[in-house]
Amino acid sequence: MRGDLDYIKSVELNVLLNSRDQDRMSVLCVATTWEQLDCCEEILKRCPSLLYHHNNYKWSVLHRAAYQKNYRLIDFYVSAGLEAAKCEGGTDNMIRFRKWINLQNREGRDTALILAVARGSRRMVKRFAEVDHQYKLGLSEIVGSNKRTALQWAMHYEDHKMIQMLTGSGDPNHSGAGAASESIIFTFAEVCKHNKLEDCWLLINNKVYDVTKFLRDHPGGSEVLVQTSGKDATTDFEKAHSHSSNAVTMMDEFYVGVCDSITSLLSQLANDKPQLYSRMQLEEFTKNFSQLLGFGSFGDVYKGQFPNGVFIAVKVLKNIESKEKVMEEQFMAEVDTMGRAYHRNLIKLYGYCYESNTKFKALVYDYMENGSFDKILFEKKLDVPWAKLHIIAKEIAQGISYLHESCYPQIIHQDIKPANVLLDSNFSPKIIDFGLAKINNGESQFEQTKIKGSRDYMAPEVNQPEKVKLSCKLDVYSFGKMLFDILGSKRNHVDKSGFPSKVWEKYKTNELDAFILECGIKEEDKENAKRLAIIALLCVDHNPRARPMLSNVVKMLEGKMKLDTPVTPFYPEYYSSESSSMSDSRDY
């Protein structure tokens, strides 16, 4: 029944704490159902532990408030939860808060955010999205009813405002940027291991962006990030941080330059986030899709140009009636994944187009001048020195490592192969095609009912007749197979069947050095090539747990980590079953 504020203030504490209805709903949840904010405030003041309570159907007060479409209650509870998190151990320790806000009800496995999307409340969605982005809670990635995330539901309802909120592209003024005075801008940046200018990246609202082009317009130019690495911007770089500036994952403060205000900076950078485009805009950018760059079973890619002169690649997905659901899933996976992943070795997603009435779906990427990596490895499109191929391998490993170890939730690509790597004008690799990507919400392993990936790069555990637990080691195996492609790319003869097994045989008989030279690799590159060959064998170990993490692979390729001894690469039946060309990449 309806609560009475005077009664709530005077009743014994244990009555408020322990009273439950037939569904085990607390008095706080009952007051929420009746949308009595004053009663909710008083109950929570006297019984703060009730904030985290849920009934038999796993409905929390957040679920109830979202169902009632009551923004004031949502804002009140989220603020109360954050305040409690600070009291319990600081907002950097959000374990209890994350578990509470991510709670899925029993009926549809829906979070309060998914209910907010379903109820069409943009204000509630915005509040949840702000907290999710700020504290990296993984809320918007949780799969609920009909196996859809909040973002996928927003796309289903064609609510573009919600889509922008959930992808982080809707509010340029909500930022995780550093301190700023009226005219001086301070930002966060990720510094590469070797302090190369092109590797300086800007962190805005928990996203990483390339800032070298932005810095050219400000005093100090692009040199400023390197010169002030590890320094405190507030005291003219005289106060040193305790961090080392030689860490790829380290975030430091930097003086960027003079600007009118932080809003001015953020508004310029807001365009770097994935944007929603209309079909008419894409037709203008591509001159009615007149310049075809490539085609595949699921879509065609066209060259285009933004009005500011920046070249782009537009991938238009095909409408295949028999595969409509698969196409939609891949499109949503691509937007969902690339909307949160930013790294110099991942392709940049400028935006997307989605028109449900015409079933037109397209993705807008950065244009890569040197095309796909497979053309270089298999068709000898360009004569790239082997030393450069070694660098490309290391940078691809860095990109995959970022997906596995620096993204929350973890992202598993599931289709790593040379055809899914593009090269820019400097031959820097960019990983593409996240249509099969798996967003791994908090678990190290997962089960999969459908076989995904390309045959020659697919880990053997995927093809097991019985259900097995899969993990990010799928990508490690695929990367190992790609290392064999790189190792054999300088050979004169075309036959590539059985090449990995030949490498393994030569390694076991201590003939690897001579074999590497036979592959057309020069003497000065032999040691790096030998190291790469051993790493490839480690990556394709038949036991997924024995495969190294990609962060360790990067260290191995750089010669900064001792190599283990390969023991059991491939499955025992590998040698008899391997008869297909390594360049064949038919999809399953």
Please identify which of the residues 415, 433, 475, 541 carries the catalytic annotation: 415
Given pLDDT bands bounded at 50, 70 and 90, which one contains residue 318?
confident
Q: Under the phi-then-psi rule, with left for phi > 0, alpha for psi from -120 to 50, and beta for the rest, what region is 109?
A: left
DSSP state letter for 274: -
Query: 187 in helix, strand or coil?
Result: strand
Is 477 within 8 Å of 455 (Cβ atoms)?
no
Of all residues in the chain, what percent carry a pLDDT higher than 90? 43
Of all residues in the chain, what percent carry a pLDDT higher than 70? 71
Of the candidates 574, 533, 539, 570, which has an alpha carbon nearest to the alpha carbon of residue 553? 539
d(CA 10, CA 27): 14
The structural domains of the chain, with segments of one domain joined by +, span 5-167, 184-271, 273-366, 373-577
Highest mean pLDDT among 21-35, 186-200, 211-225, 252-266: 21-35
Domain 5-167: CATH architecture, name and number where available: Alpha Horseshoe (1.25)
Paired strand residues for 363? 315, 352
d(CA 275, CA 467): 39
Q: What is the mean pLDDT of residues 116-129?
A: 94
Given pLDDT bands bounded at 50, 70 and 90, which one contains residue 202?
very low
d(CA 441, CA 139): 9
d(CA 416, CA 509): 30
Q: At 123, list the tokens.
A: 């204000």
Q: Does residue 21 have an active-site annotation? A: no
pLDDT > 50? residue 491: yes
Q: What is the mean pLDDT of the chain?
A: 76
Paired strand residues for 201? 190, 210
Paired strand residues for 470? 446
d(CA 416, CA 437): 10
- CATH superfamily, domain 273-366, is Phosphorylase Kinase; domain 1 (3.30.200.20)
CATH of 373-577, one of 3.30.200.20, 1.10.290.10, 1.10.510.10, 2.40.160.10: 1.10.510.10
Residue ranges for the known binding site are: 315
**Pairwise pLDDT comparison (397 vs 252), residue with the higher score:** 397
Highest mean pLDDT among 65-69, 93-97, 231-235, 297-301: 65-69
Long-range own/partner contacts, residues 558-563 (CB < 8 A, 24 or more apart): 558/394, 559/531, 563/531, 563/534, 563/535, 563/538
d(CA 468, CA 461): 7
The total number of residues shown for the chain amounts to 588
Query: 484 in helix, strand or coil?
Result: helix
Q: What is the mean pLDDT of residues 329-336?
A: 78
pLDDT > 50? residue 379: yes
The helix (H) or strand (E) run that includes residue 360 is strand 360-366
Helices (H) and strands (E) in the chain, counts: 24, 14
Residue ranges for the known binding site for ATP are: 315
pLDDT > 50? residue 576: no
**Pairwise pLDDT comparison (4 vs 441), residue with the higher score:** 4
Given pLDDT bands bounded at 50, 70 and 90, which one contains residue 148?
confident
